[in-house]
């Protein structure tokens, strides 16, 4: 065949393939331009942006917190509903300061406190944090076991507590950080169970919303104690240490394995993503707080059930009024939030102590590279486990845990504000004047709450 004819034949053969490629490309562009696909893409991008902030916010609603919110609704109805929207920006600003410290300095919170402040203060705070977290771990594991018995009464309480301890330890020690972080992120969605439980409860939503934003407070001993408990479980020290260290873990996951690499100029897009993550996590946390108070206020308080001592008891009390679906959602939520919060509690203690004593630390490290770090996690879990078999009253244990948090929280908050306001430490990412003022305001509120809590415990 002559060359000219051969070329014409080859081009004619290639034309359908080229036409097909162009058609596919055009089709993809048109598909991407559809509104539903744009929404899906934005949703996917938003989900990928979420990380430490989401898991930190979700872990704030641990079974102990659920019990506190349930008691709030049962004892006072809708009176304290306003705390959920009012504390949301406060908690988010605190966690944002913590996250920004981790991003900019490349160190955890305890590491920064060790460098810039008295080590005696740091060691005292870290030890108190360890004790308070261990007590909370014990209470949460007991609540998870009780919730499991709500679903399957034949299960053994002791075996369930031991099983949850083993499961949580196994995930923390033997799971890679990439997989572990993904597990915590998806587990945060269990909080949606509480939103559905409120929807299924058929509440009077006009009455709920009328109490949602206007503060009301009766200055008596019971109200003050409950206010202390709510703020103590919402703005809690373990969240500060976990948030900061998780930002560092994420940097290491991105390949910034040395402190020098992590301390290079922080990009504005990193700060923007962090803020979206943190504010989303704390919004979810406070939204769930709102719905739990609403359900218990609308059903338990109105039916004369005003004393709730555990999350499992709240689920049982709701069943006659809200039905089986709300009962099961509450029980499942207790188990899920416990699985999420217990690693955060144990991990925050380990980050704090490891950075205080300059031990190798980080969930990204295997066990053989960080024996002390994982040792603190193991001891925290075993102390929590033992609380459930030593006949210790879990309610009294939580009261004393809140007492310790009340002592420590204002001190750590003051250090957080000082570090995040220090231009030598934070560079261009220091607090704005508004953030600093609000930060000191939160510190003052928590100091007042801590003093009020001490007085209430001492006076009995």
In this prediction, residue 391 carries a pLDDT of 77
What's the whole-number average pLDDT of the chain?
84
Using the Cα atoms of residue 141, residue 223, residue 304 and residue 78 in order, give the sign of their dihedral. negative
CA 100 from centre of chain: 17
Strands (E) across 236-327 are located at none
CA 10 from centre of chain: 63
Mean pLDDT: which of 13-27, 89-103, 210-224, 319-333 is highest?
89-103
Residue 238: band (very low, low, confident or very high) from pLDDT cuts 50, 70, 90:
very high
- For residues 61-79, average pLDDT: 87
Which residue has better confidence, 404 or 447?
447
Neighbours of 441 (CB within 10 A): 13
Q: Is 77 left (phi over 0), alpha (psi -120 to 50) or beta?
A: left
Our separate counts of H helices and E strands in the chain read 21, 0
For helices 324-356 and 371-387, the axis angle rounded to 10 degrees is 140
Q: Give yes or no for residue 242 having a pLDDT over 90.
A: yes
146: Cβ–Cβ under 8 A, 6 or more apart, which residues? Answer: 157, 310, 311, 312, 334
Residue 218 per-residue DSSP state: -
Q: What is the pLDDT of residues 146-182, one digit of tens each?
A: 889 888 889 899 999 999 999 999 988 888 777 888 8
Cβ contact 194:325 at 8 Å: no
Which residue has better confidence, 453 or 198?
198
Q: What is the pLDDT of residues 357-384, one digit of tens each?
A: 999 998 888 889 999 999 999 999 999 9
In this prediction, residue 452 carries a pLDDT of 75
Cβ contact 421:436 at 8 Å: yes
Element (H, E) at 221: helix 221-234
Residue 34: band (very low, low, confident or very high) from pLDDT cuts 50, 70, 90:
low
Residue 318: band (very low, low, confident or very high) from pLDDT cuts 50, 70, 90:
confident
**Could you tell me what percent of the chain has a pLDDT over 90?**
33
Q: Give yes or no for residue 310 having a pLDDT over 70.
A: yes
Cβ contact 241:108 at 8 Å: yes
Q: What is the pLDDT of residues 380-408, one digit of tens each?
A: 999 999 988 887 766 667 667 776 777 78
Q: How many angstroms separate the Cα of 152 from the Cα of each of 160, 224, 317, 328? A: 11, 37, 17, 11
Q: What is the pLDDT of residues 108-133, one digit of tens each?
A: 999 999 999 988 889 988 998 999 89
In this prediction, residue 378 carries a pLDDT of 95
Residue 194: band (very low, low, confident or very high) from pLDDT cuts 50, 70, 90:
confident
Residue 20: band (very low, low, confident or very high) from pLDDT cuts 50, 70, 90:
very low
In this prediction, residue 192 carries a pLDDT of 86
**pTM of this structure:** 0.86
Domain boundaries, the chain: 47-459
What DSSP letter does each residue of 130-193 carry, written as one string?
Answer: HHHHHHHHHHHHHHHHHHHHHH-TTS-HHHHHHHHHHHHHHHHHHS-HHHHHHHHHHHGGGGHH
In this prediction, residue 89 carries a pLDDT of 92
For helices 83-105 and 221-234, the axis angle rounded to 10 degrees is 30
What DSSP letter does each residue of 345-405 carry, written as one string?
Answer: HHHHHHHHHHHHTT----TTS-GGG-HHHHHHHHHHHHHHHHHTTTT--HHHHHHHHHHHH
In this prediction, residue 283 carries a pLDDT of 94
Q: What is the CATH number of domain 47-459?
A: 1.10.4160.10
- For residues 71-97, average pLDDT: 91
Q: What is the pLDDT of residues 250-283, one digit of tens each?
A: 888 888 877 777 777 788 888 899 999 999 999 9
In this prediction, residue 22 carries a pLDDT of 57
**3-state SS record for 61-110:** CCHHHHHHHHHHHHHHCCCCCCHHHHHHHHHHHHHHHHHHHHHHHCCCHH
Residue 428 per-residue DSSP state: G
- For residues 409-424, average pLDDT: 93
- For residues 229-241, average pLDDT: 88
In this prediction, residue 14 carries a pLDDT of 47
In this prediction, residue 33 carries a pLDDT of 56
């Amino acid at each position: 065949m002559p060359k000219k004819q051969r070329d014409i034949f080859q081009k004619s053969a290639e034309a359908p393939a080229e036409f097909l490629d162009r058609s596919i490309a055009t089709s993809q562009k048109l598909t991407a331009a559809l509104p539903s696909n744009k929404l899906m893409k934005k949703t996917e991008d938003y989900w990928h942006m979420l990380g430490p902030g989401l898991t930190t916010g979700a872990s704030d609603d641990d079974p102990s917190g659920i019990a506190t919110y349930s008691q709030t609704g049962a004892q006072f109805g809708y009176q304290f509903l306003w705390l959920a929207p009012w504390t949301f920006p406060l908690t988010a600003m605190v966690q944002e300061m913590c996250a920004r410290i981790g991003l900019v300095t490349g160190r955890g919170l305890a590491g920064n406190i060790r460098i810039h402040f008295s080590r005696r203060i740091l060691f005292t705070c870290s030890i108190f944090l360890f004790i308070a977290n261990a007590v909370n771990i014990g209470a949460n594991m007991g609540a998870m076991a009780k919730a499991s018995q709500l679903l399957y009464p034949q299960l053994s309480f002791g075996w369930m507590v031991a099983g949850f301890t083993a499961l949580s330890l196994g995930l923390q020690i033997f799971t890679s950080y990439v997989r572990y972080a993904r597990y915590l992120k998806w587990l945060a969605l269990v909080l949606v169970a509480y939103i559905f439980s409120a929807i299924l409860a058929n509440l009077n939503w006009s009455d709920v919303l009328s109490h949602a934003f206007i503060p009301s407070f009766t200055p008596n001993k019971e109200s003050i104690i409950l206010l202390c408990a709510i703020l103590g479980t919402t703005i809690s020290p373990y969240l500060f240490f976990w948030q900061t260290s998780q930002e560092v873990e994420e940097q290491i996951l991105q390949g910034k394995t040395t402190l020098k690499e992590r301390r290079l100029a922080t990009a504005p897009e990193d700060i923007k993503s962090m803020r979206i993550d943190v504010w989303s996590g704390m919004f979810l946390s406070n939204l769930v707080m709102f719905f739990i108070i609403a359900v218990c206020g609308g059903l338990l308080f109105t039916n004369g059930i005003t004393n709730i001592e555990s999350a499992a008891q709240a689920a049982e009390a709701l069943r006659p009024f809200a039905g089986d679906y709300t009962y099961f959602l509450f029980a499942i939520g207790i188990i899920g939030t416990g699985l999420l919060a217990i690693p955060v509690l144990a991990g925050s203690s380990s980050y704090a102590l490891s950075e205080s004593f300059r031990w190798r630390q980080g969930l990204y490290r295997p066990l053989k590279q960080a024996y002390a770090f994982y040792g603190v996690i193991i001891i925290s879990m075993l102390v929590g486990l033992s609380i459930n078999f030593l006949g210790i009253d879990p309610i009294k244990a939580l009261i004393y845990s809140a007492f310790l948090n009340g002592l420590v929280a204002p001190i750590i908050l003051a250090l957080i504000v000082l570090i995040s306001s220090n231009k030598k430490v934070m560079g261009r990412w220091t607090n704005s004047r508004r953030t600093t003022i609000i930060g000191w305001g939160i510190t003052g509120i928590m100091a007042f709450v801590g003093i009020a809590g001490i007085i209430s415990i001492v006076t009995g």
